[in-house]
Amino acid sequence: MVDRRGNPIEDNDYSDGANTETGVAKIGELAAAGNRFFVAVGLKKPHLPFACPKRYWDLYDPSEIDLDGYTGVEKPPVGTNAFTAPFSGEPSSYSDIRGVPTAAEARHLIHAYMACVSFADAQVGKLLDALENPDGDPSTADSIVHNTVIVLWGDHGWHLGDHNGFWSKHSNYEAATRVPLIISAPGMDALGSAGRTCAAPVELVDVFPTLAEICCLDFPTQPGGFKLQGTSVMPLLEDPDQPWKKAAFSQYQRTISGDGVADSDSGMGYSLRTDRYRYTEWWRTTSSDSTLDFDEIIGVSPEHRELYDYVSDPGETVNLIEDSAYADIVAELAQCLNDDNAARSGDGWKRPAVDAPVEFPDTYVEWRDAHGFPGQLETVLDDELDPDADGWINLFEYKFGTNPLVADSPEIGVYQDSLGLHIRYPEVLDRIDVSLMPMASSDLIDWSRIGIGAGEDGEQIGNATLRSVRVPSVGLSRLFLRIQAE
């Protein structure tokens, strides 16, 4: 692809590419100065218009994009009001799109979105390369990547034809409110947390306090004495499996009506997302497009409510708010969404019970409470249960320091040397109310601790220590090892 003068179109012909070049140059300049620095580079893509160099389009075959069943006729969740759907001039305000995109238009838009994501990814790669080689000379050893904090995030998600025709970003649904967040910080390699995925609910307001804590900076005083929104996720960088916030909060303004037929009054939708559920309340407010008091609610109850269960209905096809089987869950989530201030809604993030634990839980009772999400059965964390079906009951998950609600594979291994057979496993040593007991057997019938040596502590993985115990195997034709939690 070439421009009107016949020149090939390059990344820096787009603003994101030009901004990236500036960022790369600035990194080189600041690194050479040898001082601490902060650089922020914002990328517009994949915002509309979905335009980028052709080579990124060529990475994808549009015929492989699955649009099975798509007709372009919006299908909001059963039992919800029409005003909850995303509403904006995107993409219908563009000259080549009229109304909800057809299947052919949808395929082209999704292809374009994927291309723009890859274009943005390439720009991020250039910035990372600049940290590895700030002066641009591969013969010099001037990398600063290992003492640099890197945060990559998106400001919102994007509907790409879900619900048979939802597009753009203006909603409280999953596609609009869920975003990528990647953090790299010095020391994560040593802790064993680098490259891991964390399933805990976190929010974009957490980014600022996280950066402040990593850089040993004091949190600023907020005007009017207000609490700083957001929680530093530093503990999750050290140990992604530890219990964290019970929910993430979001909100979006919308003019609403009781029956959803016509927009009538100003309003706000307040949404809460736990590990499994999304609960949303839509309130009328005193605001207008020219005022800022969007959170001053009118009335004593919300105009409309929504509940989605992402385990049984990941596509948000049915609003469960009127389902009596979920009545207790709705009541619990409603209490989490709001604090005791009746003049406003959506401020339940202030509740200590919703926020992250103040201290790492080192008793089983504290651990159960910390992992107890709203709407979750209390019995899920009983000793002998395995809620994530990964083969490890809760007692083991507690002592290993792993997440009982996310299937994982703890670092357990068996190896042999001249001294005998060794078994290695993670253990949170401060949790002394449960013990891990290595056992040995030669016939899988009789198990004993006789002959098992004392445990040797190895490397640290988050809050757990890799321990290794040995059983002499001289004279034995076979030997089996297991771990018992009690």
Amino acid 11: pLDDT: 95
Residue 305 has a CB neighbour count (10 Å cut-off) of 20
d(CA 290, CA 484): 64
Asked if the 1-184 domain carries CATH number 3.40.720.10, the reply is yes
CATH of domain 378-486: 2.60.40.10
Contact 77, 163 (CB under 8 A): yes
> What confidence tier does 258 reach under pLDDT thresholds 50, 70, 90?
low
Provide the sign of the torsion angle of the four alpha carbons 283, 286, 291, 293, taken in this order: negative
pLDDT-derived band at 261, boundaries 50, 70, 90: very low
Say which residue, 189 or 65, is predicted with more confidence.
65
Q: What is the pLDDT of residue 290?
A: 57
Q: Is the pLDDT of residue 229 over 90?
A: no
Query: Which H/E stretch holds residue 249?
Result: strand 248-253
For CATH 2.60.40.10, list the domain ranges present in the chain: 378-486
Indicate the pTM of the whole model.
Answer: 0.89
Q: Taking all residues of the chain, what is their mean pLDDT, rounded to a whole number?
A: 90
C-alpha torsion 41→47→51→53, nearest 10: 40
Strand partners, 436: 485
pLDDT, one tens digit per residue, over 292-306 is 556 677 878 898 999
What would the pLDDT profile of 91-131 be if each residue is shown by its tens digit? 887 878 878 899 999 999 999 999 999 999 999 999 999 99
Q: What percent of the chain has pLDDT over 70?
A: 95
pLDDT at 298: 80
Q: How far apart are CA 414 and CA 484, in angstroms?
A: 15
The mean pLDDT of 339-344, rounded to a whole number, is: 74
Report pLDDT digits (tens) over 44-56: 999 999 999 999 9
Residue 456, token pair as written in the block? 């040797």
CATH 3.40.720.10 domain range(s) in the chain: 1-184
